[in-house]
Amino acid sequence: MNRRRLLMDAGNSRLKWAVVEEGRWRAQGGSDYADLSALKAQLTAGTSCFIASVANIAHEQQLATLLEAAGLGATWLTAEAGFAEIKNTYLNPRQLGVDRWMGLIAARRRIREPVLVVSVGTAMTVDALSADGVFLGGVIVPGVSLMRQALQQGTARVADAAGHWQAFPRTTADAVQSGIMAALCGAIQLQHARLAEAAGTAPHCLLTGGDAGGVLPHLAVPAEHVPALVLEGMDCVTKEGMSR
């Protein structure tokens, strides 16, 4: 049985990938969709390819075409009603974003206590997982770029200028950047408090996504940055699938 797996986490604006062979991660990478040359170099014969995508149709077709040219197919992963002891309580389980589902699976593998799984990308998702592996639900808010775009499009005097976080901003650019961080951190901290109340104990908090590093320093709750969390979940799911 072929043991080389190529895992692809296809986000709205970026693609992350990892090569797993005989249980070990042999290579990792990431890029926007304009340059997939590093990924193309991994498309060797006999590789089993798996994609967890929340990307648009054009980007998904781009990946499909690239794989087809290399003579490879792909398994497109989706959220399910359950995996191992993890229960997906979404009213329609498959409607849950596959990236969120993979993140929850990876979080459960890491931590068997209440955990908040936060992905800070084009949108930010904040998902709660109980100590017994039940996905309790989560919230979705616009990410850094979307918030900035909304202000630029909806107001007359907010320019596209880079700002910096300040406790008490005194320029418009700084006010925008600081407001965005306050909104994102506020959503995380509110859900953290809600999960703590429901669980009766302070939950762990895992951050992933392209903008996680920018949010992390401003959080008022302890959190761990796990950049490859979705790929870790994909590794769990695909490894079990290939062992059957």
Annotated catalytic residues are 99
Closest to 75 (Cα-Cα) out of 64, 87, 84, 65? 64
Determine whether 200 is exposed, middle or buried from the number of CB atoms within 10 Å of its CB (0-12, 13-18, 19+): exposed
Torsion sign (Cα): 198, 202, 204, 208: positive
Instruction: Please name the helix (run of DSSP H) or strand (run of DSSP E) that holds residue 55, with its range, or none.
Output: none
How far apart, in whole angstroms, are the C-alpha atoms of residue 120 and residue 139? 12
Please check whether residue 141 is in contact with residue 187, taking contact to mean a CB–CB distance below 8 angstroms: yes
Instruction: Please name the helix (run of DSSP H) or strand (run of DSSP E) that holds residue 74, with its range, or none.
Output: none
DSSP 216: G
Residues whose CB falls within 8 Å of the CB of residue 244, separated by 6 or more in sequence, listed in order = none
